[in-house]
Amino acid sequence: MLKILLPTIMLVPTIWAVPAKYLWSTTLSYSLIISLISLTWLKSSAESGWSFLNPYMATDPLSTPLLALTCWLLPLMILASQNHTAPEPISRQRTYITLLTSLQIFLIMAFSATEVIMFYIMFEATLIPTLVIITRWGNQTERLNAGTYFLFYTLAGSLPLLVALLLLQNNTGTLSLLTLQYTPSMQLSSFADKLWWAGCLLAFLVKMPLYGAHLWLPKAHVEAPIAGSMVLAAVLLKLGGYGMMRMMIMLEPLTKELSYPFIIFALWGVIMTGSICLRQTDLKSLIAYSSVSHMGLVAAGILIQTSWGFTGALILMIAHGLTSSALFCLANTNYERTHSRTMILARGLQMVLPLMTAWWFIASLANLALPPLPNLMGELMIITSLFHWSWWTIALTGGGTLITAGYSLYMFLMTQRGPLPAHIISLDPTHSREHLLMALHLLPLILLISKPELIWGWTA
């Protein structure tokens, strides 16, 4: 555990000590080495229990894929940010990488925490660097509004969680994830218990985000710089899904009935946000709304509480993390060339950037869940477990897949196909850096096809 955490912490002094000339290459290779070492977590000898245990941290099949994803994302963020921070003074560049690194530190501690309260603290701690990334490094004045939305939605959702956790500590005497699942189930019947149930889940549902509490997400994504969008879509949203899966064990008897409205919201959100995507003119906003739609499916899969639901949700979280992050990177390559997020202004890019089109195509296909990509495995498992619960869900999930295919290909056709407008004939050629970035996003996704057990969580 500390083999990863300590090097990550030591990355901070390295950032400030390394000569300016080698700043980006050093941090990139350093973080990439960390992420490669983190892959050893995936090979855990314990069948279903905890491994790499220390007094405060451990990994289990649920957190390992998310941890590996977290570590994998830092080098990618560094790669993606290199171009747009280049004109800034060197100290600011160092600050920026430090922020990204601090985010990884908090996220590792959040995902590997064995105490719920430590998870909670780290969950909140990730807000700070993210807020700074959005409001300091965003491009437009709306970034301040986006930052406010981001902060207050998440805070308002998570303060009840603190109260609920203190209550839980009072009742059971422990908040350790190692023992919590063995505590005798509580007698939960009163109205206050139902409020407690809601308090336990609200923070995560806002973070996912559940449809209805999702307003902060498109704003944050649109205004954040590329690294912010990437980490938000790839990992921070997954904190919500992870937290929900952890809490679900304790909420057992109540969830069965209380989760109905939330499942309905989540599934209805798939349709609604998908429809919004069909009308988007703003590329980043489209990808952000598509995230809401996919995370709705994840939320429904978790709330249904079957092993297929959990497995599907975890697979979809990992697959969606890589896919949406890749899409944001692609959107950013367009943005860095045309300085606009409006799709209609950058059409027919296949003519000028043909290899980029291949990445766009693979990423769009992953977004619409083409078999046998992990995205499909996840969606299929969630759809099946929802279907087992109620046949009517197929109308919403099936409609969702239809709309998802529609807007993913709309995005692809809109940006890559069609005639090339006259104003973008002199674009920068693509850099190897950008192709490397895309390859590092999509190769893991493709390789996971051959061994999906790695991201299957408890049922593997």
Partner 1 sequence: MHLTSIMMATSLIIIFLLLAFPVLTSFSPHPLPSNWALTQVKTAVKWAFFISILPLCLFLNEGAETIITSWTWMNTHTFDVNISLKFDIYSIIFTPVALYVTWSILEFASWYMHADPNMNRFFKYLLIFLIAMITLVTANNMFQLFIGWEGVGIMSFLLIGWWYGRADANTAALQAVIYNRVGDIGLIFAMAWIATSLNSWEMQQMFTLSKDFDLTYPLVGLILAATGKSAQFGLHPWLPSAMEGPTPVSALLHSSTMVVAGIFLLIRMSPMLENNHTALTICLCLGALTTLFTATCALTQNDIKKIVAFSTSSQLGLMMVTIGLNQPQLAFLHICTHAFFKAMLFLCSGSIIHSLNDEQDIRKMGGMHHLTPFTSSCLTIGSLALTGTPFLAGFFSKDAIIEALNTSYLNAWALFLTLLATSFAAVYSLRVIFFVSMGHPRFNPLSPINENNPTVINPIKRLAWGSIIAGLLITSNITPLKTPVMSMPLLLKTAALAVTIIGLLTALELASLTNKQYKPTPKLSPHHFSNMLGFFPMVVHRLAPKLNLVLGQTIASQTVDQTWLEKVGPKATATLNLPLITTTNNIQQGMIKTYLSLFFFTFSLALLLLLY
- The site string for partner 1 over 81-110 (x = CB under 8 A, - otherwise) reads ------------------------------
Interface with partner 1, residue 344, by CB under 8 A: no
Interface with partner 1, residue 159, by CB under 8 A: no
Distances (CA, A) of 5 to 1, 138, 293: 6, 28, 33
Interface with partner 1, residue 319, by CB under 8 A: no
Interface with partner 1, residue 375, by CB under 8 A: no
CB of residue 409 to partner 1, shortest distance in Å? 6
Segment near partner 1 (CB under 8 A), from 11-19, 39-47, 98-106, 377-385? Answer: 377-385
Contact with partner 1 (CB under 8 A) among 256, 279, 339, 431: 279
Is residue 392 within 8 A of residue 383, CB to CB? The reply is: no
The neighbouring-strand residues paired with 57 are 113
Best CA proximity match to 319, nearest among 234, 386, 384, 380: 234
Contact with partner 1 (CB under 8 A) among 405, 427, 436, 446: 405
CB of residue 17 to partner 1, shortest distance in Å? 37
Interface with partner 1, residue 370, by CB under 8 A: yes
Interface with partner 1, residue 443, by CB under 8 A: no
# binding residues, partner 1 (CB under 8 A): 51
Q: Kindly give the residue spans of alpha helices, DSSP state H, lying in 279-392.
A: 283-303, 307-338, 354-367, 374-389
Interface with partner 1, residue 275, by CB under 8 A: yes
Interface with partner 1, residue 307, by CB under 8 A: yes
* Sign of CA pseudo-dihedral 270, 289, 125, 65: positive
Q: Which of residues 8-67 bind partner 1 (CB under 8 A)?
A: none
Interface with partner 1, residue 152, by CB under 8 A: yes
Question: How far is Cα 315 from Cα 298, in angstroms, rounded to an integer?
Answer: 9
- The site string for partner 1 over 380-399 (x = CB under 8 A, - otherwise) reads x--xx--xx-----x--xxx
Q: What does the block give as tokens for 131?
A: 């807020």
Question: How far is Cα 168 from Cα 344, in angstroms, rounded to an integer?
Answer: 52
Contact with partner 1 (CB under 8 A) among 210, 317, 352, 365: 365
Interface with partner 1, residue 333, by CB under 8 A: no
Q: What are phi and psi of 282, to 5 degrees?
A: -100, 120
Is residue 67 within 8 A of residue 108, CB to CB? The reply is: yes
Question: How far is Cα 445 from Cα 373, in angstroms, rounded to an integer?
Answer: 7
Interface with partner 1, residue 308, by CB under 8 A: yes
Interface with partner 1, residue 160, by CB under 8 A: no
Contact with partner 1 (CB under 8 A) among 377, 411, 424, 442: 377
Best CA proximity match to 224, nearest among 301, 268, 287: 287
Task: Kindly report each contact of residues 345-349 with a partner whose C-beta sits within 8 Å and lies 24 or more positions away, as own/partner.
Answer: 345/421, 345/423, 345/424, 346/415, 346/421, 346/424, 347/414, 347/415, 347/417, 347/418, 347/419, 347/420, 347/421, 348/416, 348/417, 348/418, 348/419, 348/420, 348/421, 349/415, 349/416, 349/420, 349/424
CB of residue 296 to partner 1, shortest distance in Å? 13
Q: Helices 237-248 & 90-112, crossing angle to 10 degrees?
A: 10
Contact with partner 1 (CB under 8 A) among 98, 127, 348, 436: 348
* Sign of CA pseudo-dihedral 153, 237, 127, 331: negative
CB of residue 81 to partner 1, shortest distance in Å? 27
Question: How far is Cα 165 from Cα 323, in angstroms, rounded to an integer?
Answer: 33
Q: Which of residues 188-217 bind partner 1 (CB under 8 A)?
A: 212-213, 215
Q: Which helix (H) or strand (E) holds 222?
A: helix 216-223
Which CB sits closer to partner 1, 93 or 397? 397
- The site string for partner 1 over 416-435 (x = CB under 8 A, - otherwise) reads xxxx----------------
Interface with partner 1, residue 314, by CB under 8 A: no
Torsion of CA 445, 448, 453, 457, to 10 degrees: -20
Which CB sits closer to partner 1, 44 or 183? 44
Segment near partner 1 (CB under 8 A), from 159-167, 295-303, 304-312, 323-331? Answer: 304-312
Interface with partner 1, residue 154, by CB under 8 A: no
End-to-end CA distance of the chain: 22
Q: Which residues bind partner 1 (CB under 8 A)?
A: 149, 152-153, 212-213, 215, 272-273, 275-279, 307-308, 311, 348, 350, 361, 365, 370-372, 376-377, 380, 383-384, 387-388, 394, 397-399, 401-403, 405-406, 409-410, 413, 416-419, 452-453, 456, 459-460
